[in-house]
Each structure stands twice: as C-alpha cells, then as structure tokens.
Structure 1
Amino acid sequence: MTSYQAHVHPPGPGGGADTLPAPLGGRRPVTLYSRIREDLRARILSGAWQAHDRIPSESALMAQYGVSRITVRQALGDLEKERLIFKVPGKGSFVAQTKPFQELGRLQGFAEAMGALGHEIYNRVLSVTTQAAPAQVADRLHLAPGAPVTEIRRVRHLDRQPVSLDLTWVPVHIGQRLADADLATRDIFVILENDQAIPLGHADLVIDAETADPALANWLGIAPGDPVLHIERLTHTRDGVPIDYEHLYCRADNFQYRLRLQRR
C-alpha cells in the first residue's frame, strides 16, 4: 500500500571544549560538555526543573562546573536540539514543555485519551468516501476482494497543532453511519461503542518509521523528508471480528506514543 504517502583541564587558547582525562586502556576521552548535558537532562526529566523554569545562566554553569563558555554552550545546544530547552534572546534558557503522549497499553481513541489529560482536540476531516477495498484492506477486514468499504481521512490536531494523518477503513454498512457522525470532535471508537453498540475488544499494531512525502508534509506542517512514526492498527470487536483498519502517520517532533512492558 502506498505510504504517506573531576579533574578539569583548562581550555586551550582557541577556547575548545574541555575534556576529562582518557580512561585507562586508551579509549576515547569523555567530553565534559556531555557530562554537563547529561546532568542537566536528568534534572529536567526527573521533574526537578518544570516546564518554563529558567535554568542557570551560562556564567553560573561555567562557575559551577569550572569550564569554558564554549563547553557550556555545547551542552545547552544539544539540549536545545532535543527540544528539552528553548532560548529567549536576552533572557536565557528555559525548560521546554514536554511532548504530549498517549499510552499504548490500552485501546483508546485519540480524543478519548488526550481529552482526559486536558488537551484541546480537533479533527480536520479531509474526506469520507465509499470505494472498492484495496487488496490489503480487504485482507485485513476479512472482506471479499473489491468489496465496498468506507475510507475516512482526518488530520488530528492537538492543542491547535497537527499531530497525525489518520486513514481509516471500515465495512461500508458501518461507514455509512459514521459519515453522519461528528467526526471532527469524536473518536470513531466512541461512536462505534456508544452509537452503534459495537463493543471493541483488542487491536493489533505494527510500528515503523517513514519519511514524509510532500502531501503528508503539507497536511502535518512539516518539511518533506522529515521523519514520521507510522502505525498500522487493526481493531477487532469483542468477538474477534476485524472492524476498523487504520494507517496513522504521526509527527515525531510534537507528540509521542509510550508503552510500558512488564517482565514476567
């Protein structure tokens, strides 16, 4: 199917980055800026510093770690690339708001999961059409080749920013009723269960990475070639009947999926 598409050495005369002595065995020396970066990262991720907290100034970090300004700037530059901090000219560096995320440990619709966390959700419905099922769609939904299906295309917005393009296929008798539903603000899962009395059971997921083609990049507000997370999801009823087949293309820069795994 087509994708969417300790001892610190003083800096040299040129102000180069500080390094720690090479460990025994001649392995590559550890740059001190990486130690500073990891220290600052740990404070952010642990919650010791909250979103929009101002982190210590470059001068304060130079004094704290006994390093040059270029070393501090390298550490801060890495954190800025990771979007853990942002800089305000003339005011300093601040902790960035962490990415919104959805847990994959339970079967939930996007609005159902994110709305519960206080986020503003909106779906831009691009199209709702009836078509002959492509071979892969027919296979996943256990339909005859070329059987009619309803395809729904939406761009999901989180806090007024696009986060994913969702392509959904359902059997046409279900899709005809979805076409009259409020797809802009409601999850398909919720509509199936509450409006159509179809209890959902489980979903199978396949996750990989792709790059955005021009059309996908335009819908998501990113550059062509930017990475996107691709999720193929097949949702079944409580009786095990496949009912909802999806391809989700998610921005990697402003949204995350998370999953906790237990060892038994």
Structure 2
Amino acid sequence: MARSNKKAIETPPLAKPHAIDAVSPVPLHTQIREALRRGILDGTYPPHSQMPSESQMMARFGVSRITIRQALGDLQKEGLIFKVMGKGSFVAKPKAFQSLSRLQGFGEAMAPSGYETYALLLSAREVPASAVVAQRLALEAGSPVFEIQRLRYLNREPISVDVSYFPIDIGQRLTQEDLATRDIFVILENDYGHNLTHADVQIEAISAETSLGRHLDVAEGSPLLRIERLTYAGERPIDFEFLYYRGDAFQYRLRIDRS
C-alpha cells in the first residue's frame, strides 16, 4: 500500500524499555522486539511516526546492527512497522490478529499481545429465532432465543460489532454478567460449567451498511470481515454469532500443515 502521501509524525525519542538481559536464554533480538512492540502498542511510537534509527537503537541497547535488524524484521512481518527506502522504519497502524487454530474469546486472544479490550452492550433481548439461527442452534424456527449485541473496542477504538444468539436460559443469565470486561466464552466455561469443545467458522468480506459504519466509525461501504461462528459445548450448539470486524484494523490467521 502506498504511504508516501502520508506526512510522518516527528520521530519520538527512544523509549526507555526494560533493560536487555545479556545472560537471559531469550535471544537479544527477541527482547528488543518485545520492548519496541510495547512502545508501539502503548502509543510511545504513534502510528506513522518514524522509529529511532538503527544507530540510535544500537547505542541504546548495546547490540550489533544485525540484532537490531532482526528485531525490526520481526516487527515488519507482524505488520507493526513498514520500511521506506532511504528513510528508515515507520510505525504502521497496528492491525490486530486472532489465530483460528484455537477457540478463544476476543479478550483472551488480545491480552497476550498487550491490547486493552472492552465491550459496550448495545442490546440484550428475547427474539424469535430466524430460520438461520434456529437451524444453527437446532431449534424450531420462531422459537425464542436470546440476542446480545455488543460493540467491541480494542485500545479504545471500535473494532467489531458482535451479534450473538443463545438458548433462552443461557442468554437471560448472561445479562446479569459483566459483559463489558469479560469474554462470554470465559463465563460459559468458568461460571456456568459448559465445556466448549469446537466451533464451525465461516468468513467473508462485506461492505459496511449505515448502522455498522456508524458503530465502527467507518464510512458506509468500507470493507468489513463478516465471521459466522457456531460454538459447541460437547455436541450441543450453544452460541451462534455474526461478528463484523473492521477490515482495516483486524485479521484472522491460520496455520495449515501439509501432511
């Protein structure tokens, strides 16, 4: 993606991360990468600002140029920085990602990377199951289900609208929980004793309609990821969701092995 038309923010001073431990079993470039990642995620290095030069980092961390380049290369692979020939490294707008190799709630997936997450409850109500919802939850069409809509935030910016459907007894209980800061998966397992085993997931690209665009702070027609996820406890379908993620700020990743 062309970035030459963006005016870079003035280079911030090199952050003061935790000291690098030369005797640690963790490689030096990994320690530096993590220190720089913290600076990017906490805003020390704002989006589109220029990172300190390799020479500055060499002096600060007391390591070789190749070690610095290894750390920067890892950050570039993650999409946290981009390089401009002859000018250096710049901070990209971080695009969060979630691996599809594990069944996790949004907060569970984001916490290890240092992201702050919370949810705004948009609505919680009993509704008649549409044909699609009824089929997914193994109910008769028109049966009562509980719909919960949430606006999810990542580092205080809107990232997704989650529309979830539950059997009526589970959904009614969930309205009594702290849905702002707790993942529903964690509540279902730890509080309600449901053993979540697997999920069926479908992903497609769509354009934002007016309501979604307003919630996600994007223009109508902007690209979104639409995820349809049906989660099971044992063999019972327990949670059916439509998840609408901002295409410019989120991605799913999946490792595929060839046997």
Q: TM-score, normalised by structure 2?
A: 0.67
What displacement does 1:117 show?
2.1
* Unaligned ranges ≥5, structure 1: 1-33, 35-46, 57-81
Question: Is the CA contact 1:130–1:150 (under 8 Å) kept in the aligned structure 2?
Answer: yes
2:153 corresponds to 1:186: no
Aligned to 1:107: 103
Aligned to 1:195: 191
Task: Tell me which of 107, 127, 149 is aligned to 1:131.
Answer: 127
Aligned to 2:7: none
RMSD (Å) for aligned C-alpha atoms: 2.7
State the one-letter code of the partner of 2:248.
Answer: D
CA distance in structure 2 between the partners assigned to 1:212 and 1:117 by the alignment: 27
CA distance in structure 2 between the partners assigned to 1:54 and 1:256 by the alignment: 27
Aligned to 2:113: 117
Question: Is the CA contact 2:80–2:95 (under 8 Å) kept in the aligned structure 1?
Answer: no
2:205 corresponds to 1:223: no
- Matched position secondary structure for 1:107: coil
What displacement does 1:83 show?
8.9
What displacement does 1:94 show?
2.1
Q: 1:86 to 1:186 in 2, by over 3 A?
A: farther
Question: Is the CA contact 2:134–2:142 (under 8 Å) kept in the aligned structure 1?
Answer: yes
Q: TM-score, normalised by structure 1?
A: 0.66
Q: 5 Å matches for 1:1-264?
A: 52-53=50-51, 85=82, 94-237=90-233, 239-264=234-259
State the one-letter code of the partner of 1:252.
Answer: G
Question: Is the CA contact 2:126–2:146 (under 8 Å) kept in the aligned structure 1?
Answer: yes
- Matched position secondary structure for 1:116: helix
State the one-letter code of the partner of 2:245.
Answer: C
CA distance in structure 2 between the partners assigned to 1:54 and 1:95 by the alignment: 11
Q: 1:215 to 1:134 in 2, by over 3 A?
A: same
What displacement does 1:257 show?
1.3
- Matched position secondary structure for 1:204: strand
CA distance in structure 2 between the partners assigned to 1:259 and 1:162 by the alignment: 24
CA distance in structure 1 between the partners assigned to 2:109 and 2:195 by the alignment: 18
What displacement does 1:146 show?
0.9
CA distance in structure 1 between the partners assigned to 2:83 and 2:168 by the alignment: 48
Q: 1:55 to 1:248 in 2, by over 3 A?
A: farther
* Unaligned ranges ≥5, structure 2: 3-32, 41-49, 55-78
CA distance in structure 1 between the partners assigned to 2:201 and 2:208 by the alignment: 20
CA distance in structure 1 between the partners assigned to 2:214 and 2:208 by the alignment: 9
